[in-house]
Amino acid sequence: MLDRWVQYYGLVPVEIPGTVHVNRIFKRSRVEASKFGKVDTYCFVNYMKENATGEYLKSFSNQVFDFAMGHRTGNPLGFGAMLVVYPLLVVDNISNDLHSTINTYCPKHFAAAEYPSIYDITSGNLYYYQKTPVWGALYYGTYRRETFKFYSPQSWSDVSGNKS
């Protein structure tokens, strides 16, 4: 279902190389006036059955961000180009450690964003950084909205007309 859903937002599947340990990768490239040029958006999805820790979330997020940096093409970041990476960790039950980490983890990059989230299967809740850092004031609202659009079953239901 996720594959069809992200295609609704213009993302297409990317072949997963052996060096990246994820279940799905999706990408969208488009010109966005609000971001002053071409924006490459990557979504990475990884299901972790057990033992997901805050350190794992940080490592996963950083790994897929580095992959996206090496995979993107075009102008240098900040000169008519921007990169946005949405890593999603899917877990059966979110731990206190993961919950604490997602509420505090806010990596900073030049002309790029790394905005991880966690989907808890048991509760159906989607978790992501809720605050807005001063340096991210222009874009963090968009990152939260896009994370919700891409990964929330509530969003999928609303758009598909299956509102309950």
pLDDT(41) > 50: yes
* Mean pLDDT on 102-129: 95
pLDDT band of residue 161 (cuts 50, 70, 90) is low
89 or 4: whose pLDDT is higher?
89
pTM: 0.91
* Mean pLDDT on 11-19: 89
Quote the pLDDT of residue 135.
84
Quote the pLDDT of residue 29.
92
* Calpha distance 114→148 (Å, rounded): 15
Phi–psi pair at 6, nearest 5 degrees? -70, -30
Strand runs (DSSP E) across the chain, as ranges?
Answer: 12-13, 24-32, 37-48, 81-91, 112-114, 117-120, 125-128
* Mean pLDDT on 39-67: 94
